[in-house]
Amino acid sequence: MIIAVDGPAASGKGTIARALAAHYGLPCLDTGLLYRAVGLQVLRAGGDPEKEADALAACAFDDALLDDRELKTEAAGAAASKVSAIPAVRAALIDRQRAFAARPGGAVLDGRDIGTVIAPHADAKLYVKATPTVRARRRHDELVGLGHEISFDKVLADIRARDLRDTTRATAPLRPADDAALLDTSYMDIDAAVDRAISLVDAQIGNRRQANP
């Protein structure tokens, strides 16, 4: 079973994807980490995340980078959003994501284009959203908890800038797949959001089984 979870920054899709993976006993891939790794590597090399040559040079990275704490910073997120708008970067990362989705037994993947590009054949698709203010509050709390010094206004501005870039880029823009179930977590705590996500996935799988007995 393949479960695709998409949505904008800090909507809670990663939290939901991990909970779904635990519930259904599946491996989970946070695809945003791959773009963050490329973005962070460009920054560390002193490059420009909007320059194709700099971004492409950073696409081959050591997997140890995926555990780097700096990946969680807003700077890495903003750089990820810039490199991810470059079609050649997306192409360089696609095989790894599709191979993960094709694991025997299935997988859960979260990102921006899982239901539309990486696994359009997924058995269940969720599009997780929340208002920009709610998302900025969650991300700000998270960053402060990790010891980062950053204002709420800066986090909100970064989220709005990232939303604009991610939804308007020409290649694989962020949007719900036509057959995705929408889950607005703005007024849900984590437990309520996870319960709702499991119900939505169960319903999609049930519908599929009825259609293809």
Ligand X SMILES: Nc1ncnc2c1ncn2[C@@H]1O[C@H](COP(=O)(O)OP(=O)(O)OP(=O)(O)O)[C@@H](O)[C@H]1O
Ligand Y SMILES: Nc1ccn([C@@H]2O[C@H](COP(=O)(O)O)[C@@H](O)[C@H]2O)c(=O)n1
- In the complex with ligand Y, the residue whose CB is nearer, 106 or 111, is 111
CA separation for the pair 23, 165 (Å, rounded): 33
11 marked among binding-site residues = yes
Q: Is 115 annotated as a binding residue?
A: no
15 is a contact residue toward ligand X (CB under 6 A): yes
Q: Is 9 a known ligand-binding residue?
A: yes
Q: Given the complex with ligand X, which of 84 and 185 has the nearer CB atom?
A: 185
d(C-alpha 93, C-alpha 98), whole Å: 9
Distances (CA, A) of 46 to 42, 51, 144, 155: 6, 12, 26, 23
- Nearer of residues 138 and 169 to ligand X, judged by Cβ: 138
Q: Give, as ranges, the residues between 139 and 198 that touch ligand X (CB under 6 A).
A: 139, 142, 185, 188-190, 193
Q: How far is the CB of 3 from ligand Y (least distance, A)?
A: 14
Q: Tell whether residue 106 is a contact of ligand X (CB under 6 A).
A: no
CB under 8 Å to 136, separation ≥6 — which residues?
10, 152, 155, 156, 159
Q: Do residues 139 and 146 touch, judged by C-beta distance below 8 A?
A: no
Q: Which entry of ligand X, ligand Y, none binds 115, CB below 5 to 8 A by partner kind?
A: none
